[in-house]
Copies of this chain bind each other. A is one copy, B any other.
Amino acid sequence: MTAAETPESKCDVIIIGAGPAGLMMAAWMARCGIDARVVDKRSTKIFSGQADGLQLRSLEIFDSFGFADRAWKEANHMIEMCMWNPGTDGVIRRSDRVPDVPVGLSRFTQIVLHQGRIERFFLEHIKKHSKDSLRVERAVLPESLSISEDLCDDHSSSSYPLTVTLRHLTEDEAAPAQSNGSEVRDGLFRSNLAEDDTDELIKKSQGKEGTSEVVRAKYMVGCDGAHSWTRRQLGFQLEGEPTDFIWGVLDVIPITDFPDIRMRCAVHSASSGSLMVIPRENKLVRLYIQLTEIKPDASGRADRSQITPQTIIKAAQKIIAPYKLTYEYCDWWTAYQIGQRVGTNFDYKNRVFLAGDAVHTHSPKAGQGMNVSMQDAYNLGWKLGLVVKGIAKPEILKTYQSERRRVAQDLIDFDHKFSRLFSGRPAKDVMDESGVNMSDFKDAFLKGNLFASGLSVDYGASMLVAKEGDAAEQGDGTDVSLSTVSISASKTRVMGHQDVATNIKLGMRFPSYKVLNQADARPWHFQERLRSDGRFRLVVFAGNVLSAAQKSRLDAFCASLASSTLLAPHLHTHVAVLTLHSAKRVDVELLRDLPDVLHPYDGKTGWDYDSVFVDDVSYHEGYGDAYAGYGVQRETGCVVVCRPDQYVGFVGGLDEEGWRGVEGYFRGVLRDGE
């Protein structure tokens, strides 16, 4: 086929890989209405196995897209974690029970659901919101990437700096070979014990009559896994080393007298290694089993041929003795070698981005992989959407690496510590220095729990987070300092005032309390109103709107808002306004007591009744006490800028200074403000 015959087309964003990170990215593209394509080299989506723990933050994100309820309903819910350790007699016994996630953190708990279902929810969401125009193109392989360096800084709408060649594979080429001939699916082909097959696929397909096409794109996101083809094109590395610890994974319906088989368990045997129990949906249980008898060879890599479901269950039986453990049904199995590695770079010139396993790999047992990968894309997607649409300044794309590479580094440190504690032999007594102290393990677990919830993420100062401190230090070192952007006429840096909302932390996700809709008294978790629709939210804590003094403060603030040449054109379209007041619900009337800009009028549909909420007692669901929870003064309130990903960008008083802060924040972000 000659170059002249190769079809050419354009798109704004091309996403390589349709795993959780790629699908999250595609979901944002659908929600923001971006002309995007998603390609994946595999011919089918996965049907069993794979990562499956959903942490609290992932569920909050799913909820913001509107499908957390589906995952919540189908999943197994993990409530308690039990720790089993050897006693002085060497026999395992339950030493501790702790809640699986800290109490009071979120309205969700940790759940476990097959990755295939999660991908299904994403696919349906993408289909619905893109009106069918955005579909995953399977069995499509990227073959080459070239970047027009001189176009990378040209942000005009006609600038397409990237040229990607795609090859459409045949069904045969794209289906992964299973490592054995049995009916049970295994995941070795995706495990880090296997080599990547992308090059082999390219070679294979070039021998046949596959068709190619050329796509010119503005942006590209590589969500193509640990062996990322995209990363290799850019010449970026993953830094870190594998360990000697090799683990097997079985998804089975266990037949056992082990009493905690439906609990999450960490079992340390005296000398046969460790095992983790993760109960799943449909009677399945996932077992992570340390394979102490299999050692890496001279190359540092374990011999895959030694690893079968039979060798894995035998290892498990040794660990869990004296309890019996067998199975009749095995759904899936795999094995991996623990290693923690982080990408040196998360983007190339803010035109090509890497997300998920392409930039961080670690052990799967803490249930972090899929979550952190999705959250990478969740962080990047709206930024890319707003930049492509010409609403936000391209500079905000730099915050992707500064925010997410820092998270990846923290994750790797956590996993490094936790894996060694979990894979190590338990100490026999205080004199046994080479053993792991079990109370150290418990402490690490409890501390790690907050980290593992995904709710401890705290993004550093940048043009998107108006907080104090050094932007480079708080991120991964990337320069996202505000001085590069003129954020206000006087060029002073915009800074939030944390003290007016002590629990709405700058850089962290907006917490949630129950509030009532003023118009119909319905209770909502406030976070449910922070939908992932690509809009910033100006959250007006209106305070006691029935006090004359406060009403006049509110009116003044709303007058500034409604007349702002910067913000007024974006109101409700790119910057939604949500109000939470603290007066008695029954004493307040929406149309009488709250300025129009807080509940806008439409000639066809009348007043808006879905934007004003109240912190008051409900009939059926108690009292959220939201002002107290948020740490906001009931009388005077405050104002918060919430990013499209629910992270807090700015906090200030409901006054002239607060207004200038809001306007300054958006001047640093919105393109119109330049």
Q: What residues make up the interface of A, taking CB atoms closer than 8 Å to B?
A: 69, 73, 76-80, 97, 99, 103-104, 109, 253-257, 259, 261-263, 279, 283, 328-329, 517, 519-523, 586, 589-592, 603-607, 609, 618-620
Contact = CB atoms under 8 A, between A and B. Distances in A.
Contacts of A607: 255
7 contacts: A78-B520, A80-B521, A257-B591, A262-B519, A262-B609, A283-B605, A329-B605
Given A97-B586, A259-B590, A605 B109 contact: no
A255 B79 contact: no
Contact of A79 (B261, B279, B520, B604): B520
B103 A620 contact: yes
Contacts of A522: 77, 79
Given A99-B619, A103-B620, A259-B589, A79 B605 contact: no
B328 A603 contact: yes
A69 B79 contact: no
Contacts of A604: 253, 328-329
Contacts of A519: 261-263
Contacts of A256: 606
Question: Number of copies of this chain in the oligomer?
Answer: 2
Contact of A520 (B279, B523, B586, B620): B279
Contacts of A73: 69
Contact of A606 (B97, B253, B520, B592): B253
Chain B CB within 10 A, most for which of A279, A283, A604, A619: A619
Nearest to A94: B586
A78 B77 CA distance: 30
Given A255-B606, A257-B591, A604-B328, A77 B619 contact: no
Given A259-B589, A591-B259, A605 B521 contact: no
A604 B252 CA distance: 11
Contacts of A109: 620
A413 to B, nearest CB: 28
A609 B261 CA distance: 9
Chain B CB within 10 A, most for which of A254, A255, A521: A521
Contacts of A523: 79
A253 B601 CA distance: 13
Contacts of A69: 69, 73
A590 to B, nearest CB: 7
Contacts of A283: 605-606, 609
A328 B80 contact: no
A619 B255 contact: no
B520 A255 contact: no
A520 B103 CA distance: 17
A254 B608 CA distance: 11
Contacts of A619: 79-80, 99, 103
A591 B259 CA distance: 7
A354 to B, nearest CB: 36
A324 to B, nearest CB: 10
Q: Which 9 A-B pairs have the closest CB atoms?
A: A255-B606, A262-B520, A262-B519, A79-B521, A99-B619, A80-B521, A328-B604, A77-B522, A259-B589
Contacts of A78: 520
Chain B CB within 10 A, most for which of A262, A604, A609: A262
A606 B604 CA distance: 61
A605 B255 contact: yes
A605 B592 CA distance: 63
Given A255-B606, A620-B103, A263 B521 contact: yes
B80 A520 contact: yes
A249 to B, nearest CB: 19
Contacts of A253: 604-606
Contacts of A618: 79
Nearest to A257: B591
Contacts of A97: 586
A261 to B, nearest CB: 8
A519 B604 CA distance: 54
Given A255-B605, A259-B591, A328-B603, 17 more contacts: A77-B522, A79-B520, A79-B522, A80-B521, A99-B619, A99-B620, A254-B606, A255-B606, A255-B607, A257-B591, A259-B592, A262-B609, A263-B519, A263-B521, A283-B605, A328-B604, A329-B605
A433 to B, nearest CB: 33
A328 B328 CA distance: 63
Contacts of A262: 517, 519-520, 609
A101 to B, nearest CB: 8
A520 to B, nearest CB: 4
A591 B609 CA distance: 54
Contacts of A328: 603-605
Nearest to A70: B69
Contacts of A517: 262
Chain B CB within 10 A, most for which of A77, A97, A520: A520
A633 to B, nearest CB: 28
A84 to B, nearest CB: 14
A563 to B, nearest CB: 24
